[in-house]
Amino acid sequence: MRTRINFWKKVYTEIHSGESFLHDTDDVSIIYEKIGYGDLSRRAVKKLIKDRKKYFHDVLISIARKDKQDLSEEEKKILATVGEKSPSDLKEMASNIRHQQGMSDRYLQGLERSLLYLDQIKQIFKETGLPEQLALLPHVESSFNYQAYSKVGAAGIWQFMRPTARIYKLKLNYIIDERRDPIASTRAAARFLRDNFERLQSWPLALTAYNHGPVSIERAVQDVGTRDLSAIIDKYRNRKFGFASKNFFATFVAAAELSENPYERFPSLPKVEPIRFTEINLKKPITIRALSENLGVSRE
């Protein structure tokens, strides 16, 4: 697991969104190269990545066919990167090359945004009896962007899907989507994570279930016969249990470790004052116009 965590720390700190690592899907310590996109179009970036993956595929196949004998200088260099592997391992690795886009710029933006809400989020987790470190999970989910909306319809800093949001009593109608409320959604996320832990009795599993679903993780535990997440990642074979789910916990730990003492680790991080607010229960509805006029603030 530490190998995976260290890989994600590199993704969060060493490459930005205009760069990628080409790496082995299973052994993420094997990084073939770093690719920079420059000013390339999206289509050109896709072609570049495809071409570079094919290049390393072909080199690995060549090394395997030569049985690691009479290698070119480039083949020797790549063999040194992958380590002592059998020809059959090399052939398998040739079809196991993945690219990972960098996140250093996105992570730092999220770190700055997190400071607006983090004190309140930690307090909510403390009141719920949960580890305060869980407050850092939105780094993985949304980079603390409350306007984040995924291609599958997850929304807010905790990336709730609509069915799960309704289970945890978040309001969703044509006016209000409380998934985008950092405080309301945090209360829901705390209950969701607590339920996952009570069900699975393991924080690595409970966090992985946040991404993959508690029922699916229970199935993995039964199939492999252990609650050890590392063993499940190595042995569980299910098409839906892919790279993102296998790495979700490691990604969280990497973000959490990087986010400790942020001003010491990132001296250039702007000073951010947490949002201060008071919640009141209204006896009846009030219009935005009335609030604006009485509080002396703009409608925006």
Measured CA to CA, the distance from residue 111 to residue 227 in angstroms comes to: 32
Residue that is written with structure tokens 């009896």 in the block: 129
Does the active-site annotation cover 141?
yes
Query: Exactly one of 127, 141, 257, 300 is catalytic; which is it?
Result: 141
| Beta partners for residue 98, in sequence order | 23
Query: Angle formed by the axes of helices 214-224 and 203-212, to 10°?
Result: 120
Residue that is written with structure tokens 């709730």 in the block: 160
3-state secondary structure of 267: coil
Q: Are 139 and 255 in contact (CB under 8 A)?
A: yes
Residue that is written with structure tokens 């199939």 in the block: 223
Q: Are 179 and 158 in contact (CB under 8 A)?
A: yes
Structure tokens at 86: 């059998």
Measured CA to CA, the distance from residue 296 to residue 114 in angstroms comes to: 28
Question: Any idea how long the chain is?
Answer: 300
| Alpha helix segments (H runs only) across 95-242 | 104-127, 138-141, 162-167, 182-200, 203-212, 214-224, 229-235
Structure tokens at 188: 């829901």
Q: Are 118 and 274 in contact (CB under 8 A)?
A: yes
Please state whether beta strands 97-101 and 19-24 pair in parallel, antiparallel, or not at all (unpaired).
Answer: antiparallel
Q: Are 118 and 108 in contact (CB under 8 A)?
A: no
Residues with a catalytic annotation lie at 141
